[in-house]
Amino acid sequence: MRVVILGAGGVGGYLGARLIAGGADVTFLVRERRAGQLTSMGLVLESPLGDFASPVKVMMAGTTPDPYPDAVILACKEPALAAAIEAVAPVLGPSTRLLPVLNGVRHLDVLAARFPATTLLGGIVHGATDLRPDGTVVHLSPFMTVLAGPVIGGSDAVGSEVVARLKAGGVDAHATHEIRQDMWNKFVFLAAFAGITCLMRASIGAIMATEQGRTRILALLEETQSVAEAEGFSPPQDLMGEYRDLLTEQGSPYTASMLRDIEAGRRTEGTHILGDMLARARRHGLETPILEIAAQHVEAYERRLDMSAKAAGSDT
């Protein structure tokens, strides 16, 4: 199986390592700096589920592969989606599947409109990863689960093989026939998780240690759940129970990747996650006061980055 992965950061690097371990022929479509790291040191993964280190194939944007890959995995964050779309356009053959593993849901409509002739799969990654400045991919959570399936239709042979290769590489991977519902389930959790940890600039454990921490966390989770229900994607009650437990665990050190982006001074998925969830809430006339504050908090951070970049440009 031939797979091209756009991005070799935390998620793309992890999936690529496990696909290679599962016997897939993987090429990473990356920018020049990351290509240099991968060429010189190979792909290095540190994970509680098993380390990985190996030379890997790389390609740059604008290259047309021969033959075309069976699947292209988009493993970028939403701020890079527009550039990613243009980069993968020459890589998509007549039978190539496109599998984005971005957070949120609105990118599915963007990709379907841009590539109407391409079979689109949906994907979800449950697990925390990061990319160190030296190029090492670090797996931060004790688990990693991947769900994938066709956006339209009951099954897809290529999508199922991607899942099989991940399983062979040691990933808890599953093919699903309800990927939109699965994506909404994660969307509900992530918007609450990212919203509260970014708003409070703290881990779940630190927030829980405050006087009204538990109340605020659960209120935000109820708000995001209400949006999913209004959209017709109500999460199962047992899953909501798991989300409540995860988001109110005493002493939990976990923070959302969105907060880690803020702390590193990077662009975030704030508009794609919190902004999109808030826009949907407003369309349905829902009251979501904590979500609104959290979304505006991250928006203000993004605007500050814009102002800093503009000021730096005017000084040169």
Contact 61, 85 (CB under 8 A): no
Given 123, 158, 177, the domain boundary residue is 177
The reply to whether 57 belongs to the active site is no
| 265, two tokens | 């001074």
The reply to whether 163 and 236 lie within a common domain is no
Measured distance CA(24)–CA(34) in Å, rounded = 21
Given 110, 145, 177, the domain boundary residue is 177
The reply to whether 199 and 306 lie within a common domain is yes
The reply to whether 118 and 201 lie within a common domain is no
Q: Which of 57, 77, 167, 186 is catalytic?
A: 186
Beta bridge partners of 6: 29, 74
The reply to whether 134 and 27 lie within a common domain is yes
Q: DSSP assignment, residue 273?
A: I
Nearest alpha-carbon partner for 121 in 156, 146, 84: 156
Residues 6+ apart with CB under 8 A from 218: 244, 247, 248
Q: What CATH code is carried by the domain that includes residue 262?
A: 1.10.1040.10
The reply to whether 136 and 7 lie within a common domain is yes
Measured distance CA(152)–CA(36) in Å, rounded = 38
The reply to whether 129 and 266 lie within a common domain is no
Phi then psi for residue 224, to 5 deg, are -70, -35
Q: What CATH code is carried by the domain that includes residue 125?
A: 3.40.50.720
Residues 6+ apart with CB under 8 A from 124: 101, 146, 147, 148, 179, 182, 183, 186
pLDDT in tens, the chain (316 residues): 999 999 999 999 999 999 999 999 999 999 999 999 999 999 999 999 999 999 999 999 888 899 999 999 999 988 899 999 999 999 999 999 999 999 999 999 999 999 999 999 999 999 989 999 999 999 999 999 999 999 987 789 999 999 999 999 999 999 999 999 999 999 999 999 999 999 999 999 999 999 999 999 999 999 999 999 999 999 999 999 999 999 999 999 999 999 999 999 999 999 999 999 999 999 999 999 999 999 999 999 999 999 999 888 766 5
Domain that holds residue 292: 182-312
Please provide the DSSP assignment of 227-261 as one string.
HHHHHT-PPPHHHHHHHHHHHT-TT-----HHHHH
Given 160, 177, 194, the domain boundary residue is 177
